[in-house]
Amino acid sequence: MPSEARYEAAIDDILSYIEDYHFEFEDRISEKEEEDDFDHIVLTSNGGTVYITAQKEMQYFVVRYPFSFVDFISNGLDDEIAEEILANEDQGGDDMRIRAATKLLERADSNSLTNLKNRLRLVASGAVATVSTESRDNIPLTNFEVTGYMFPFESDFSFKTFAERVQAIRNAGGIATDYVHQSTRLVDPEESESGNYEVAVRV
């Protein structure tokens, strides 16, 4: 387990590397979960958001590219469409589009969502990147996350190894995100067999 001084030095190294990299530093978030301390360094670029998560007891930092499928669907809805989707339910509120997106995914073909989940693992996983997915109740896919590891306490860790790992995860996350965009569309009631808004997934 690295000492407090080595841990903070590794964080400082990462922050200094970010200054020389084409990602923008957004924030450093510290949190405590039970007895574990975490730091999340948040980076952004045109390709999305990457998190570098450090846990003080570990010899590695985790590089993460999260993607919310629910948020992606909700961003394609306006308030009028969301209200129509939520007909006969409570409407309004800051989370109205999120609730509408969730309902659309509950209506979506579960086999198609399962196929999409499996395809994301195939197209984005690689030598340094792993894709994990999350589900909820009867929705096979609500989120995915591309992850990899960096080892800032090793003697050969440098800006080059930092940049290569961050770029690898960002590229894999971008591939998965593009695949979602290409495979998913909102179907208008006039086009759907049910006469309702639907999410169509073509894999």
Count how many Cα atoms sit within 13 Å of the Cα of residue 198 in the half-sphere of its side chain.
18
Interacting residues of 79 by C-beta distance below 8 A, sequence separation 6+ = 96, 97
Identity at 51, one-letter amino acid code:
Y
Q: How many helices (H) and strands (E) does the chain have?
A: 6, 8
DSSP state of 22: S
pLDDT digits (tens, 9 = 90+) for 167-176: 999 999 999 9
Q: Residue 124's closest CA among 185, 165, 179, 192?
A: 179
Do 28 and 42 touch, CB atoms closer than 8 A? yes
Cα 146 from Cα 174, distance rounded (Å): 10
Cα 53 from Cα 30, distance rounded (Å): 10
Q: Where are the beta strands (DSSP E) in 6-154?
A: 24-33, 36-45, 48-55, 61-68, 130-136, 139-150
Quote the pTM value. Answer: 0.87
The dotted CATH code for 4-201 is 3.30.1460.10
Report pLDDT for 119: 95
* pLDDT band of 47, cuts 50, 70, 90: low
Please give the helix or strand (H or E) that residue 159 lies within, else none.
Answer: helix 159-183
Cα 173 from Cα 167, distance rounded (Å): 10
Report pLDDT for 100: 93
pLDDT digits (tens, 9 = 90+) for 75-110: 999 988 998 898 877 666 668 899 999 999 999 999
Domain ranges of the chain: 4-201
